[in-house]
Every structure is written in C-alpha cells, then in structure tokens.
C-alpha cells in the first residue's frame, strides 16, 4: 500500500477514533469535565479516598492532559472494539487505581493525572496487537517498563510502571485463560491443518487486508480501506496461518432489522485458496453469527468480469456449497453490465419459527431519494407506511427528483405487505419487480425489490 494511502488511512482514523467506542468516549468526556471542574491545586497528601481520586483528574498542564487523553482514545477504542466496553473500563480503571495507589504508598501523594490508566490501556493494546506468543507479550511488558524507567522522573515512575504492568498482565492472563474460539483448536478433519487462527481485526490489520482485497479487485480495495477505518474494524475478523494473515471476513447488522446480517469484505489471499482456509474462516464466522443471534445473513456480490472471466464466480460457488441460495439479481445495478446478486443463508436455529402475522397496509408515502450504495448513478426511494394510510403518494415526485439527478436507475425495497399495497402504482410508473429476499423482516415477511431503469 502506498505511503499516501497509509497516511490517508490513519488521518481518517484520527477523525473517527471513537465512532464505535461509546465507553471510551464517555471516559474522555468525564475526564475533561473533571479537569475543568477541579481547578483548585491538587493536594500534596490526600487524607481520604475522595481526595486521592480527585488528584487523579488534575494535570500539570493542558499538554499533559492532551497526551493522556490521546493515549486513552487510541488504546481504549482498540480495547473496546475488540473486547467490549466493560473490559476496557476494567483495564483502564484498574491500571489507574493500582498504579496511583502504589505511587502513594511507596513514594508520596503528589502524583497527579490519568497516566497510570493510559499506560495500562497502552500496554494491553500493544500485547493484544503484537503479543502473538507469551514470550512476545512478556517482552512488550519489559519494554514498556524500560522506557518508563529511562524517560520519567522518580515521582512518576511507580505509577506509570505499575499501571503498564497491570494492563499488560491483564492482557496476558486474558489470552491464557479467556474464552477460546474454535480457532484455537481447529480439527484436522475440518481444516487439514492445525495452525489457523481466527481473531477480530484491528486497525493495524487494515494495510494487509487492503492488499488481500487488491489481489482480487483493486477498485474494492480503495473503498474497503475507507470503510474499515470508518467502522473501526467493527464486526471484522482476520484468518492467520502460521502468523501470516491470509484472509478477512466479517459482517454488519441491518439498520432496519436487528437480527439480519450482511456479509462484509470476505476475501482469501490467492496463494491460500483451495487449501481449506476459506471453509475454516466461514465456519468460524457462522459460529459467531449464531452467537450474535443473527437469524439470516445475506451476501451481496456481483457478476463483474475481467477479460471475460467473472472474478466472483468461485466465491459464489463457495457460498452455495455452504447452503446459501441465490435469491435476487438486479441487472446493471453497480454499473451498466454489472449486476448485483444477493444470496441468502438462514440460521437453522430459526427454521421452525412460526411465520409472522401483521396488519395489512393499504397506502405508502414515497418522500425522497438517496444515492444507492455501490451503484453508479443509482438512487433509492425512501418511504413510510402505516395501516392508516389509504393511498400511494409521492411516487411521481421521487421520479422527478431522479430525473433531475440524471439517475441511471431508481429502486425501492419494501416489505411484502407494503409492496402488495404499492404494486399497482409502481407497475403503472414503469417499475419492475426483480425479486424478493425471503424472511427478511420476519419469518414469512420478505423484502421486495422494484426497479425503474427508464427514467423519463
């Protein structure tokens, strides 16, 4: 990946470090509030726990505060995105309190600031990212301690060192005794090997992930780079073989339906294909989807070809081998000559669920258009409906907006009951029904796609 792409990646992350880290955001906000509230000088010898804790929110100056908050933002958001907010708070608060208390007991009560917690989170994140083995983890802890000893005054050494040691030990014990995924002990029958490792993706994995994607589709690689950074890798995973990253996959939940997932950025390095890694990776992801109570996952792909060869044909056959069913195709969706194809894969746990019952609707209001994701000059209609509505309105206005935007196509995705109410009006306006994603909203309630290609 070029230096320019790398610079843009990390500058983008800096603008969105806490988008998916509400616990870390709250910690930073409370720290700032406490700093501005506690304007009185810190107590040299705090006599009770409240005075001791109050001292932790004082800082020498705004630079001291800013550095601590930056480390907490970076390391805390990484910890939260990979292991969750409660663990991040546990690591940060434990490191802060233990480190500062040891400073108070062994030196004096003049230590101020959040540095012990920041160093604890930094050590935890470093071990999570780079500590692939216990030896490497231990070396990271020693390195942290050595840096602190060489660069800090005696009045801060104990707090910083103990804070880093606390965070480092929590990361090491978490790896040794934490919940193992099936990736920790893959079976010979499933993989043909025993050295696959499936783990959550971190920000440091993005450059390699982009390279893997670029080996199949360079256009997708640039889009993936930005998307992964904006999402802070949430819901993404990497597959490693003997310590080398060979694949990526993941999912995101539907904005409309909480138990529906969409497959995201799933690629395997060409050198690793045909050796069992792809099946191992998909089985691990399906296990996680089941743990997340995802009722059904959909896979959006395309029929894009290079030199006459469809580059996603092998991936589509691979999904079908797991039981995914081709449910929908929208011709020319991505661009002229490139269709969007959607596969559906249901969670067997929900097969016996009873179909949903719902109150029929008789009217729909179409109230605007938005640019459709991953579609060149394609637009999607927005809508709302309720049992009280008695007619279909706004359709001509949406078509006029699409014409004004010089849209190549206009489409809308509707629940089956809403689609039934709007079918006649959509047909009269020139829309075509191009298929249904079954059981999308609920068992028995699919999502119907209507497309208008001739916008005049």
Predicted confidence (pLDDT) per residue in 56-108, tens digit: 777 777 888 888 888 888 888 877 766 777 888 898 888 888 888 887 788 77
**How far is 364 from 383, CA to CA, in rounded Å?**
7
- pLDDT tens sequence across 112-121: 778 888 888 8
User: 264, 293, 322: which is the final residue of a domain?
Assistant: 293
User: 256, 277, 293: which is the final residue of a domain?
Assistant: 293
The token pair that represents 185 in the structure block: 């002990």
Instruction: Give residue 298's pLDDT.
Output: 97
Distance of CA 38 to the CA centre of its chain: 37
Task: Give one word for 65, left, alpha or beta, with left for phi > 0 and alpha for psi -120 to 50.
Answer: alpha
Statement to judge: residues 153 and 200 lie in one domain: no
**How far is 329 from 435, CA to CA, in rounded Å?**
7
Statement to judge: residues 387 and 254 lie in one domain: no
Beta strands in 71-172 (DSSP E): none
pTM over 0.75: no
Statement to judge: residues 279 and 307 lie in one domain: no
- Dihedral sign (CA 225, 230, 232, 235): negative
The enclosing domain of 325 has a CATH number of 3.40.630
- What is the domain count for the chain? 3
3-class SS letters over 161-178: HHHHHHHHHHHHHHHHHC
**Which residues of the chain are modeled with pLDDT < 50?**
1-19, 177-193
Instruction: Give residue 178's pLDDT.
Output: 45
The boundaries of the domain holding residue 242 are 181-293
Place of tokens 């101020």: 112
Statement to judge: residues 159 and 229 lie in one domain: no
Instruction: Give residue 354's pLDDT.
Output: 75
């Amino acid at each position: 990946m070029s230096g320019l792409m790398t610079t843009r990646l990390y500058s983008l992350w800096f603008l969105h470090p806490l988008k998916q880290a509400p616990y870390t955001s709250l910690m930073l906000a409370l720290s700032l509030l406490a700093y501005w509230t506690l304007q009185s000088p810190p107590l040299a010898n705090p006599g009770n726990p409240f005075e001791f804790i109050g001292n932790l929110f004082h800082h020498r100056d705004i630079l001291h505060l800013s550095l601590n908050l930056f480390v907490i933002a970076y390391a805390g958001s990484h910890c939260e995105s990979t292991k969750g907010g409660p663990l991040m708070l546990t690591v940060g608060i434990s490191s802060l309190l233990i480190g500062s208390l040891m400073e108070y007991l062994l030196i004096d009560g003049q230590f101020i600031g959040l540095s012990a917690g920041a160093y604890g989170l930094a050590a935890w994140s470093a071990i999570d990212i780079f500590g692939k083995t216990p030896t490497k983890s231990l070396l990271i802890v020693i390195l942290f301690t050595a840096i602190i000893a060489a660069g800090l005054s005696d009045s801060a050494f104990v707090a910083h060192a103990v804070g880093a040691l606390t965070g480092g030990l929590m990361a090491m014990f978490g790896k040794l005794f934490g919940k193992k995924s099936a990736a920790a002990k893959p079976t010979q029958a499933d993989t043909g090997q025993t050295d696959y490792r499936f783990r959550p993706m971190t920000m440091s994995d993005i450059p390699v992930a982009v390279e893997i994607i670029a080996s199949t589709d360079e256009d997708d690689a640039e889009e993936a780079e930005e998307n992964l950074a904006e999402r802070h890798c949430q819901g993404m995973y990497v597959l490693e073989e003997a310590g080398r990253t060979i694949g990526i996959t993941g999912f995101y939940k539907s904005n409309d339906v909480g138990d529906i997932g969409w497959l995201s950025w799933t690629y395997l390095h060409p050198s690793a294909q045909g050796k069992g890694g792809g099946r191992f990776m998909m089985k691990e992801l399906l296990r996680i989807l089941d743990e997340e109570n995802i009722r059904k996952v959909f896979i959006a792909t395309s029929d894009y070809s290079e030199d006459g060869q469809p580059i996603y044909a092998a991936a589509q056959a691979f999904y079908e081998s797991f039981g995914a069913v081709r449910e929908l195709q929208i011709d020319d969706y991505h661009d002229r000559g490139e269709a969007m194809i959607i596969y559906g894969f249901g969670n067997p746990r929900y097969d016996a669920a009873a179909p949903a019952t719902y109150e029929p609707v008789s009217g729909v209001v179409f109230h605007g258009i938005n640019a459709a994701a991953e579609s060149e000059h394609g637009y999607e209609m927005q809508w709302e409906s309720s049992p009280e509505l008695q007619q279909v309105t706004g359709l001509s206005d949406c078509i006029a907006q699409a014409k004004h935007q010089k849209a190549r196509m206009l489409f809308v995705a509707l629940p089956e009951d809403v689609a039934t109410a709007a079918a006649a009006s959509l047909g009269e306006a020139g829309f075509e029904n191009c298929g249904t994603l079954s059981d999308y909203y609920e068992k028995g309630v699919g999502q119907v796609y209507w497309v208008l290609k001739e916008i005049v």
